[in-house]
Structure 1
Amino acid sequence: MRLKFSPVLAALLLSGCAPVQSVVNPVQLPAATDFGAHANPMEWWYVSAYLPGEGLALHWAQFRVQDARLPAALMISHVAVTDLRTGQPTFLEQPAGTGEVASPPLRLRQGAWTLTQAGPEPTAPLALKAGPLELTLTPVKGPVLHPPGYSGSAETGVLFYQGITRLDLSGTVNGRAVRGQAWLDHQWGNQIPGRSALWDWFSVHLGDGRDLMVYRVRRPDGGVAQLIGSVVDADGRARAVPGLRAEPGEVWTRPSGRAYTLGWRLVSDEFDLGVRVVRREQELLSRSTRIAYWEGPIEVKGTWADGPVTGTGMMELVSGPWTP
């Protein structure tokens, strides 16, 4: 029997009307290989890719929400594809419903959308089939736990943060053959997006084989609750970024009044990087989660240890609740 969920209840749970639950201990960190489902209010799996050679940017997200008011875990999913040559974006959503999570090997399913791992090994290839996406994702590096192992704070709620920062991507998007590199994230805990926390997030594949993640968690009043960064070196080892600063620049304001900071300078004891968005019109208004966010491709350029460096990646900026 397929359970039916109230779309309004589902949206309220994801957009933050559920209370933050104290069920996460950031001192007891999970394994980097822990891809399966957890008994926490909020969890998601996320794949993103900027494919400069193909003129495409894309992301897929599978949310899983648990609450005492629901008879079973709730699943919601998003797919966004932007054709950068035509400027045509596509944003698809699967509304709240039941689904499947199993691991290892990892298997996620909501309706016809699936992410399936070929074997129990953490670096086994994954097949993603979701709307216009039919992709094979083959890890180039192993899973990592991003230092300090979680995003957020006691006041915003905490999400454990684990994933694979570089995967070879091949397959089709809207039937068109594509190749490139992707990024996979997995987070879970008691942080409620849009209500208890907002954020600015950057994932960058650098040309020298390093991967950079920067995460700025904001309180609803706009104050910064946490700023973290990690570098995954070419050999797959993850380490914290020392002396990190994220300096905001150009702000883009929508007619609605929602504002997104599209210009950034990322600075640390090791690097000084400027961030440039490839396309400004990347705001997404989710009816299933009732959250407004900006998600799109970026290019970075600057210095690392006094040498020049460039990179490409994705940026996500969460504005907050949105009412259709």
Structure 2
Amino acid sequence: MNVKTILLCLVPVFAQAQGFAGLGSGADGFAIPQPDPQFSFPADHGAHPDFRIEWWYLTANLKDADGTDYGLQWTLFRSAMAPQTQEGWDDPQLWMGHAAVTTPDDHFVTERLARGGIGQAGVVADPFAAWIDDWRFDGIDVGTLSATGPDFGYDMQLTASGPFVRQGKKGYSVKSASGQASYYYSQPFYDIAGTLHLPQGEIAVTGTAWLDREWSSQPLSGDQTGWDWFSLSFDDGARMMGFRLRQTDGADYTSATWIAPDGTPTPYEDGSLRATPLEVSQVAGRDMPTRWRLELPAQGVDVTVQAINTQAWMTTSVPYWEGPVTIDGTQSGTGYLEMTGYE
């Protein structure tokens, strides 16, 4: 990749705009999510270039034969400078990939940047394929997943054991009191198995994975500085998604979805979820809450969420914390935590 490509990819990331990473800036002629979306599959597994930002975000909780916990991340981001596509270097669609593996003692991370229009990165809806360079995610119900970095890699197989789940109000996920929103659905029922390629050798692992699909043009309000996002897989087969968006005035905006073992979602609006930091760790020179109490009283949830590795810092163009967690309390299980906007 040449320097011009890298700079063009980073323009929207480092632009001086509102909200965390510019996600609160104006929509600038892009499409805006509307209530009561009518998703169409498999088409909506693909890209939506008339929206400004979009991601295919997969995390996995894994164990090896000895019971050691691992985490895995594979993410493809699309960011647009204009709501259109075209062939060649003038295409305004920009792509960024993040891959990571977390162990109890180490956190491996790498990043890829690409320009649209030249085949280096993209997404095809049917049959589903998402890629950036040699990283690939092929197949949406039964598929394969791979990525490589300077000191790690993985090759995995995925099988969905439940339905896609619409987050928020039938897929319309409100993010602020002023009404910013995204289209958002998940596949939280993947079984996953494969091989981690780490400095100590190849490790066979199995576990569960969670895919988030989200697109918008202004998902945050200008006074929101970052978020704490949880995807929790309980041992009884239920799932829960929840997030807390932090504001400059010290207030929070929260949302949650309870997902029954059969995939039936129950959405909960602002104020229903309580997310309380319990323990802070020093991470990359800043204080990060790596142990939490999560409460969703309407479902009888009162759990403690603990990072498997407190140092799961993503040293990417926009740095953030992302790693696997364990769950104890009224429910037990495993999950993933993402935290952004901590200075």
TM-score per shorter chain, which class?
A: 0.7 to 0.9
Q: Is the 8 A contact 2:162 2:189 kept in 1?
A: yes
For residue 274 of structure 1, what is the aligned residue in structure 2? 304
2:189 aligned with 1:166: yes
Distance 1:203 1:55, change over 3 A: same
Alpha-carbon distance in 2 for matches of 1:60, 1:212: 20
For residue 292 of structure 1, what is the aligned residue in structure 2? 319
1:61 counterpart (75, 81, 88):
75
2:57 aligned with 1:75: no
1:20 counterpart (12, 16, 26):
26
For residue 306 of structure 1, what is the aligned residue in structure 2? none
Distance 1:106 1:200, change over 3 A: same
Shift of the alpha carbon at 1:265? 1.3
Shift of the alpha carbon at 1:103? 0.6
Q: Is the 8 A contact 2:175 2:219 kept in 1?
A: no
Q: Identity, % of aligned pairs? A: 28
For residue 50 of structure 1, what is the aligned residue in structure 2? 61
Shift of the alpha carbon at 1:109? 1.5
For residue 125 of structure 2, what is the aligned residue in structure 1? 103
Q: Which runs of 5+ in 2 are unaligned?
A: 18-24, 84-89
Alpha-carbon distance in 1 for matches of 2:7, 2:193: 37
Alpha-carbon distance in 1 for matches of 2:205, 2:114: 30
Letter of the 2:324 counterpart:
P
Count of residue pairs the alignment pairs up:
303
Q: Which runs of 5+ in 1 are unaligned?
A: 304-308
SS at match of 1:10: helix
For residue 22 of structure 2, what is the aligned residue in structure 1? none
Deviation readout 1:203-251 (Å, 9 max, x if unpaired): 1110100011111123356532x31111111111111247322222223
Alpha-carbon distance in 2 for matches of 1:109, 1:71: 17
2:154 counterpart (133, 138, 143):
133
2:108 aligned with 1:90: yes
SS at match of 2:315: strand
Quote the RMSD (CA, aligned, Å).
2.7
SS at match of 2:12: helix
Shift of the alpha carbon at 1:255? 6.0
SS at match of 1:13: helix
Superposition pairs of residues 1-324 of structure 1, within 5 angstroms = 5-17=4-16, 19-21=25-27, 23-31=31-39, 33=41, 34-38=44-48, 39-52=50-63, 53-68=67-82, 71-84=91-104, 87-98=105-116, 99-117=121-139, 124-131=141-148, 132-148=153-169, 149=171, 150-153=173-176, 157-174=180-197, 175-191=202-218, 197-219=225-247, 223-224=251-252, 226-241=253-268, 243-254=272-283, 256=285, 258-267=286-295, 268-270=297-299, 271-287=301-317, 291-303=318-330, 309-319=331-341
SS at match of 2:7: helix
Alpha-carbon distance in 1 for matches of 2:341, 2:126: 34
Shift of the alpha carbon at 1:192? 6.5
Q: Is the 8 A contact 2:74 2:97 kept in 1?
A: yes
Q: Is the 8 A contact 1:203 1:212 kept in 2?
A: yes
Alpha-carbon distance in 2 for matches of 1:15, 1:181: 34
The TM-score with structure 1 as length reference comes to 0.84
Q: Is the 8 A contact 2:102 2:309 kept in 1?
A: no
Alpha-carbon distance in 2 for matches of 1:221, 1:110: 38
Q: Is the 8 A contact 2:106 2:309 kept in 1?
A: no
Q: Is the 8 A contact 2:78 2:93 kept in 1?
A: yes
Alpha-carbon distance in 2 for matches of 1:154, 1:96: 35
Q: Is the 8 A contact 2:91 2:115 kept in 1?
A: no
Alpha-carbon distance in 2 for matches of 1:292, 1:223: 23
Shift of the alpha carbon at 1:299? 1.1
Letter of the 2:309 counterpart:
R
SS at match of 2:254: strand
SS at match of 1:269: helix
Letter of the 1:77 counterpart:
G
Letter of the 1:23 counterpart:
A
Q: Is the 8 A contact 1:16 1:194 kept in 2?
A: no
